Structures are given as C-alpha cells and as structure tokens.
Amino acid sequence: MIIKRFISKLLDSNVYILEKDNEILIIDSGVEVKDVEKVIGNKKVVGLLLTHGHFDHSAYCLDYAKAFNTKIYASDKIKDTLTDKKAIYSENGEIIDDFSNFEFISGDKKLKLGKFDIECYYAPGHSKCCECYLIEGQLFAGDVLFRRSIGRTDLVSSSRDEMYDTLIKLEKVEFENVYSGHDDSSSHEEQLKNFAIYKRFLRR
C-alpha cells in the first residue's frame, strides 16, 4: 500500500491518498479537488473516509464525492457537527447539509472498500464524531492522536472523559504507525510512551 500526504491550506490539516493495486482510498478532504486529481488521475476511488466533521478535514467532501463518483464514510454522529455553524469551525460559517452521498458508521465495525480492509474505531473526545481507521497496520487517527499530543478537548462536543476512554481503547489496538490529522506521522513505540502521559493529563 502506498500512502501519500497532502497538506491543506486549512489549518495545515492532512489529506491522505492510499493506493493499492490501482485503487484509491482517500482520508479526509481539506485539500481542493484539483490538487488531488493530479495524483489520482484515472485510478478508481473506492471511498472517502472522514475522521471527523471539523471544516479543515471535511471542507471539500461533497466535491470529492462528485469528482470521483464515490461515497463518503463517516461516523453516524457527524451530521450534528457538519450542520452546526459553531461545531464545524468553518471560517465563514459554512455548513454541510447534503448527506445523499454519505454512508454512516455506527460504533466499531469493519469495512471492505475495493482492495482495502478497514477497521473503524469510534473515538470521541476531540469531537463526538471522531473515527480512527486501521488499514494494513496503519492507524489514521485524525485529530485524536498527534505525534506528541492529543486533540483539543475544549471544543463543541469535546469531552475529556470520552477522550480518556478512547485512549484506553486505542492503547489496545495493534498498529505500526499513526497518521494524524495534522503534522507528521509517529510510530507505535512513540505513542506507547505517551499514552500514560496523555491519560494523566486528562485526569488532572
């Protein structure tokens, strides 16, 4: 599996393009379609996964669905974020309220999209609609886990208690690397060193 990272102009969020046997899986949609199209070309896009609904990660999701003729996969809690001007945190108050191309994920489950086997982990804390995706040993964690920190828990629908429970869940997941919603990736070893620190911080 080939992983390519694009950095958005929206708060430097990451978009990941995964390629396997000429099939493409996209994670998050904060980069304009025209920039992603240059890399994807004529390859088949089997899905777009959203890690959560904040605008820097979801901004162009409807454009992606149209341009690549694909479905958008996200937590079943994401509607509340995308349709709330405060919760989505867009700079101009823009919301997303067209869900005709969405497929909603409830709880933890497995997906098969083309050649990609995906384990979905419901991971609230930073937002009620956060999902983490484990694909071939790589954990795409959105704004739940960063290289040396965790996502903010002082936002609309954030929860320190839920983030704590999410960390306990992710601590048990077998992964090689974390690909975060911002900044660089990190290894399993790096994250294990930090989990105890994160949990102590959340219990202060």
Domain encompassing residue 75: 2-202
Task: Write the pLDDT tens digit of every residue in 62-99.
Answer: 999 999 999 999 999 999 999 999 999 998 999 999 99
pLDDT, position 76: 98
Report the CATH number that the domain containing residue 186 is assigned in CATH. Answer: 3.60.15.10
pLDDT, position 204: 83
CA distance linking residue 74 with residue 117, whole number of Å? 16
Backbone dihedral angles phi then psi of residue 79, each to the nearest 5 degrees: -55, -40
The Cβ of residue 203 has, within 10 Å, a number of other Cβ atoms equal to 9
State the Cα angle at 104 between 101 and 109, rounded to 5°. 135
Q: Name the E strands within 32-143.
A: 44-49, 72-75, 102-105, 109-113, 116-122, 131-135, 138-142
Question: Which residues of the chain carry a pLDDT beneath 50?
Answer: none
pLDDT, position 46: 98
The Cβ of residue 24 has, within 10 Å, a number of other Cβ atoms equal to 24
The Cβ of residue 199 has, within 10 Å, a number of other Cβ atoms equal to 15
User: Integer distance in angstroms from the first to the last C-alpha of the chain?
Assistant: 40
